Amino acid sequence: MPKSKRDQHLTLTKTKRKRGVELKQQLVSKIHSNLDKYSSLYVLKIYNERNEKLHYIRKHLSDSQFFFGKNCVMSFALGRTPSLEYLKNLSKITPYLLGKIGLLMTNRDQKEIIEYFNSLSLLDYARSGNVATETVIIEQGLLPDFQHTMEPMLRQLGLMTSLKKGIIYLEKVYTVCKKGDILTPEQAKLLKLFQYQQSEFKVRIKAVWTKNDGCIQVFDIQDDTIIDNDMKVDDIEEQLFVGDEENWIDDEGQTQHETNRKKSRKI
């Protein structure tokens, strides 16, 4: 039987190739170049991360350099073992690169940096999954701060409302959340609508490395997870940043060759 002309294979490789390896290489090279430029390195623990707040810190410390990349890539750049560390004693910093961590490189005085971050505390609206810090109760009565067009949305969020002469009226007392509750998306939305800020953005210093003597100072963060002295860095194989992208193993354990395999389908 002759082959049908309709029986064709269409390759789905027209999408742009991912630049994951290239971006990781750029991050490593930037960290190395800034380590040569600045005299000290700070490991920062970030709580309730917000891009707007991070921009505020960057603006205040405009003469310094921040890095907020993947922890495994940043630890690779610093060096996970004494034989692989870029500068003296940097491998002792990598065990603290766990969780929401950032790196700060600066030439400013250490006392100034420590005082700045210890005093830094910015309020923001809580998100879904955060723990409520206080009980919020909305009393019965008129809600003149809301437009009448928002009344259906408030009802969808759980409030028993109605319109009286074009003004939203709350029929009965409503408890948005109780202290200690894990907030749902609806509760987080209501807290923002009624302007209750229950989230605190703050940054605390976990460790400091100085270039002159390679000395490392570790700070005790009370509300942070205690790091055991025997704790090892994430059990991730050492990866070589070579030009051959097919040999790179990504975080999911798949090679770029496997990720970028040509896919075809029969039409």
Q: Which residues contact 195 (CB under 8 A, 6 or more apart)?
A: none
Residue 173 is predicted with a pLDDT of 92
Residue 22 is predicted with a pLDDT of 83
3-state secondary structure of 125: coil
Q: CA 78 from chain center: how many Å?
A: 20
11-124+200-266 and 136-196 agree in CATH topology? no
CATH superfamily, with its number, for domain 136-196: Ribosomal protein L10, N-terminal fragment, domain II (3.90.105.20)
Residue 249 is predicted with a pLDDT of 35
Torsion of CA 232, 73, 207, 35, to 10 degrees: 130
Residue 214 is predicted with a pLDDT of 85
Q: Where are the beta strands (DSSP E) in the chain?
A: 9-11, 40-47, 65-67, 101-106, 122-124, 136-138, 141-142, 161-164, 167-170, 174-177, 199-210, 216-218, 264-266
CA geometry: angle 213, 71, 238, nearest 5 deg: 85
3-state secondary structure of 137: strand
Distance separating alpha carbons of residues 24 and 70, to the nearest angstrom: 9
pTM across the whole model: 0.69
Residue 12 is predicted with a pLDDT of 66
Residue 185 is predicted with a pLDDT of 92
Residue 10 is predicted with a pLDDT of 67
Per residue of the chain (267 residues), what is the pLDDT tens digit? 677 777 777 666 666 666 778 888 889 999 999 999 999 999 999 998 888 899 999 999 999 999 988 899 999 999 988 888 898 889 899 999 988 899 999 999 999 999 999 999 899 999 988 899 999 999 999 988 888 889 999 999 889 999 988 899 989 999 999 999 999 999 999 999 999 999 989 999 999 999 888 888 888 776 543 333 333 333 333 333 333 333 333 333 343 334 444 333 333
CB-facing half-sphere around the CA of 242: CA atoms within 13 A: 10
Sketch the domain layout of the chain as residue ranges.
Answer: 11-124+200-266, 136-196
Residue 256 is predicted with a pLDDT of 38
Name the CATH topology of 11-124+200-266.
Alpha-Beta Plaits (3.30.70)
